[in-house]
Amino acid sequence: MGSNKIIDLELQGAGSKLGLEIWCVENLRLVSVPQSSHGKFFSGSAYVVLHTTLLKSGALQHDIHYWLGNDANEVDSTLASDKALELDAALGSQSVQYKEVEGQETGKFLSYFKPCIIPVEGVYYSGQGQVHSKAPTYETRLLTCKGDRVVHVKEVAFSRSSLNHRDVFILDTASKIFHFSGCNSSIQERAKALEVVQYIKEYKHKGNCEVAAIEDGKFVGDAEVGDFWNFFGGYAPIPKDPPSTQEQPQSLSAKLFWITLQGKFTQSGSGRLKRSMLESNKCYMLDADTQIFVWMGRTTHITERKTSISAAEDFLRAQERPVNTHLAFLTEGAETAIFKSYFDDWPQTVAPKLYEEGRGKVAAMFKQTGYDVEELPDEDEKSHIDCNGTLKVWRVNNGKLSPVPVVEQRKLYSGDCYTVQYIYSTNGREERLFYIWLGNKSCVEDREDAISLTSGLVDSTKFEPVLARIVENKEPSQFFLIFQTLIMFKGGMGSRYKSFIAEKGLDDETYDNKKTALFKIQGTNRDNMQAIQVDQVSRSLNSSCCYILKAHDGSIFTWLGNLSTTRDHDLLYGMLDLINPTWQPILVREGSEPDVFWETLGGKTEYPKEKDIKRFIEDPHLFVCTYTKDASDLKVKEIFNFTQDDLTTEDVLVLDCYSEIFVWVGHNSVVKSKQQALSIGLAFLKKDVLGEGLSMDAPTYVVSEGHEPPFFTRFFEWDASKANMLGNSFERKLAILKGQSQKLEAPLRNSPNFNTKETTPRRPSPTPNGFRRPSPTPNGSRRPSPGPAPNGLTRRQSLDSYTIRSTSSDAFSSPDFNNNNNTMKNRRFSSPPIPRMIPSASSPDVRTKTDKTPSLPSKDSGPIPNQDGVKLVNYPYERVKVNSKDPVPDIDITKREAYLTEEEFEEKFSMPKTAFYQLPRWKQNKIKMSLYLF
């Protein structure tokens, strides 16, 4: 790989810390821009910007941008381009480089500097970082704001002729800021421009000025409107906007050019391209109309890359391309999804990012300091909601939802489809979660009925529940956690399944106590374990797992894989207790199986013997979705560095977490049914815009605005009070800006205490066909429920009863599966009851009328290490990090960062402790891992 052996001193060590690093070209050299000046760009200068993030896989991701002011000279601009390439080489040529031109910046670049950047006239000087104002008084400016996700702010001539009907304008005067909305501008654009108003008010006026919102066309009798037009010499009509040229949809037809060593272009292909057209020892330009890519082979030299970049820039100038044509530079192996979309046969393989590998590295860090860590906590396996709620299950049968008896609710069949309703409580508020579970062998008619019937049921309820579509073998961990114990059988109980196999002349695989069967055991503990019936052949085995085999002669074998753990063995014994405690199994370890064991499986064949590893959960991505006719015409646009404020009430957005997706539906969006939202989710999976290899069977959730569950809000720095606001995006932000947010708060929906002054939780009542929900005790623990409900069991009682001796010969087929003899309680599980969930700062779910954004403690309020009020002794970073040569003994290794002083914490984390502990837990862990504190 070509590289530059001489690295600019200013760039040495770049990319080793998270966040932004910025350099400016000054006197033909790079100088570092201090953090206090980040986001302030001078039109006469050229900059290099590096953004570094830590992925969940443990890898660092670098994005490099070079920004050119409109007044920057050619020499500085060329130097910034060369230094960006030099920085890429220093970072291993794995970054993507973007050319940014003032006023035409990419959305990714602008997302680093929310709400906006407002370029300043003049040139950057490192000695002062700013140009002194020449005017003794405040200069009145007129700004135009364009964009509904990121805002392009541009100063225009302070003249009435600058105004139009399609844009949003900000008139910034010494005493008041006017927000003028063109009548043809969108609600989202108006709302985004208000963020710019807030920014100007805080940073230009120190918060001391008035704000006025002016609507185009409404001026009679409004004093603020009169004030606005007085600055323009009085009111006069704005001319009608010329016909707008509709933005042409991006065509996938493109031209590929080979760039020679002399910077000349030779066309290599057009239209649909092939990956084989790109050779590792050459550089190419892909001309895709509104976007130009320069692809640099891995074995090309840095001088060849510089020539290619210069040639591409000269090509743009010679072609007189529009100023909004974006230019990106890619090295082989670091291609973006958009670039790959122009090639028909780009390999869909995704580089493996192994979960256990990353966790192993962390465990090794602990062991270096003398801590023998057998197993790290698995954050993705924990529940984010209370799992002691009420469960109810229906089977789809002949176009209807048929309730499943309580004692049968923990049995699902591959040939059937089910609707699962789960009701749980969070801080006195009752929430509902519906799952549509589709068996792998279910018929198309049952699947369609399951979706339409469940969607209709959900739409008819007043509770705005979450709806999820899941497919067998792709269940999220939370699904298993709320069932707590589950057996998944082959075959089916529905009439359509029975009719289908009869018509096809197929054998009925539905389990009964006379048939042989093989069950794979999985789970994390005895409150979360499953027995999955798999094909009764030896290739279904895996050395990482444990199995139960029921032979044709009634013999029971338990098979322990050589790579299975003691936890797996405990789950196996727990499932035996659950299924039938009277069974006397024959224990078989891998490698010592009797002949009858293999005979039952149809003979011994090869099966997987490597450790069953999980792939890393990818970092989440947020997309806004639009369509013209139906979901099949879906268009998506990524929102970079997203926050809760990007969930605008007029829109539908998809949060892509790779292993599952969430379709978030705003109150004022055009989507009014859960089924329509599910269709959008499926269209998104099919589109696979990031080229991740998304599965069409990935769990798909539909989340309504104002009813976001904790397992959704954990991906944001969530402020629950924002979910209580009424009005469109513009009205909400204007109310906050004017300090009127309380007037727009919506009443608490679906709360059991909504219209009362009652503050204690209501007594839980039995449900007609489910489990009774335990009520919380004053100290936060769970009370055992007083007794079984008329038609069901409490969740904890049903768990306790699993260990009771049963007189049934086969509990798989016995109706007593969930309700063994309650008079015999001679054994209990060793695992403790599930504690009541306490909402964390990262995912609160309190939506009362008195909710306010929690104020952050001051820096003098002391550390908040365990969030329990205990003040810890401070130690230096070098002694608390996991690879310390002189570690501090007897500290809480899960809270190493808490022992740092406030000053050293801010130096390492680039934020105060109070801000850090407001982040979601997964973000905290990512940052701590990068600093060797986790």
Taking the chain (934 residues) in consecutive chunks of 10 residues, what is each chunk's mean pLDDT?
62 90 95 92 96 83 95 94 93 92 94 93 77 62 93 93 94 95 94 95 90 83 86 87 58 82 92 91 92 94 93 89 88 89 75 45 46 46 84 95 94 97 87 96 96 94 91 94 94 93 90 88 91 95 95 90 93 86 89 94 92 70 88 88 93 94 95 94 92 91 94 91 83 85 43 32 35 37 36 33 35 44 30 31 33 36 44 86 84 86 88 84 78 82
Q: Are 49 and 22 in contact (CB under 8 A)?
A: yes
Distance CA 90, CA 12 (A): 8
Report residue 846 as tokens: 């309190």
Whether 346 and 275 have beta carbons less than 8 Å apart is answered as: yes
Query: Residue 749 CA to chain centroid, in angstroms?
Result: 26
Please state, in angstroms and as integers, the Cα–Cα distance from residue 262 to each residue in 149, 257, 308, following that order. 41, 14, 9
Helical H segments across 369-462, by residue range: 444-460
The CA-atom distances, in angstroms, between 745 and each of 108, 669, 707, 742, 847 are 32, 19, 15, 5, 10
Report the alpha-carbon distance of residue 361 to residue 358 in Å, rounded.
5
- DSSP character at residue 615: B
Residue 642, pLDDT score: 94
Residue tagged 């969006």 (tokens): 669
Residue with tokens 């009420």: 390
| Contact of 26 with 36, CB cutoff 8 Å | no
| Exposure class string for 380-405: b at 16+ Cβ within 10 A, else e | eeebbbbbbbbbbbbbbbeeebebbe
CA-CA distance, 470 to 422, in Å (whole number)? Answer: 15
* pLDDT of res. 669: 94
- Amino acid identity of 169? F
Q: Of the candidates 291, 342, 336, which has an alpha carbon nearest to the alpha carbon of residue 312?
A: 291
Q: If residue 254 lies in a helix (H) or strand (E), which one and from where to where?
A: strand 254-259
Nearest partner of 661 among 633, 628, 636, 627, judged by Cα = 636
CA 15/CA 37 separation, integer angstroms? 19
β partners of residue 890: none
SS3 of 506-546: CCCCCCCCCCCEEEEEEEEECCEEEEEEECCCHHHCCCCCE
In a 10 Å sphere around its CB, with 0-12 CB exposed, 13-18 middle and 19+ buried, how is residue 234 labelled? exposed
What is the end-to-end Cα distance of the chain in Å, rounded? Answer: 34
What pLDDT is attached to residue 541?
A: 96
How many other C-beta atoms can be found within 10 angstroms of the C-beta atom of residue 307? 19
Helix (H) / strand (E) element for 97: namely strand 96-101
What's the CA angle centered on 423, arms 698 and 672, to 5 degrees? 60
Rounded distance between C-alpha atoms, residue 313 and residue 258, angstroms? 15
Those residues with Cβ within 8 angstroms of residue 280's Cβ, 6 or more apart along the chain or in another chain: 297, 298, 299, 300, 332
Find all residues with CB under 8 Å of 187, minimum gap 6, and list them.
Answer: 650, 728, 729, 730
Residue 932 is predicted with a pLDDT of 82
Residue 872 and residue 865 in contact, taking contact as beta carbons nearer than 8 Å: yes
pLDDT of residue 767: 38
User: CA 618 to CA 917: how far, in whole Å?
Assistant: 22
Rounded to two decimals, what is the model's pTM? 0.78
165, containing H or E segment: none
Residue 756 has a pLDDT of 32
Evaluate the CA torsion angle 773, 835, 532, 353 in order and state its sign: positive
For residue 692, what pLDDT is reported?
Answer: 81
pLDDT for the residue 866: 45
Q: Residue 381: what pLDDT?
A: 62
Whether a cis peptide bond, with omega within 30° of 0, leads into 815 is no
Give the residue among 507, 523, 595 at the shortest CA–CA distance from 564: 523
Question: Is 389:424 a contact under the CB 8 Å cutoff?
Answer: yes
**CA dist., res. 353 & res. 899, Å (int):** 32
Peptide bond before 119: cis, by omega within 30 degrees of 0?
no
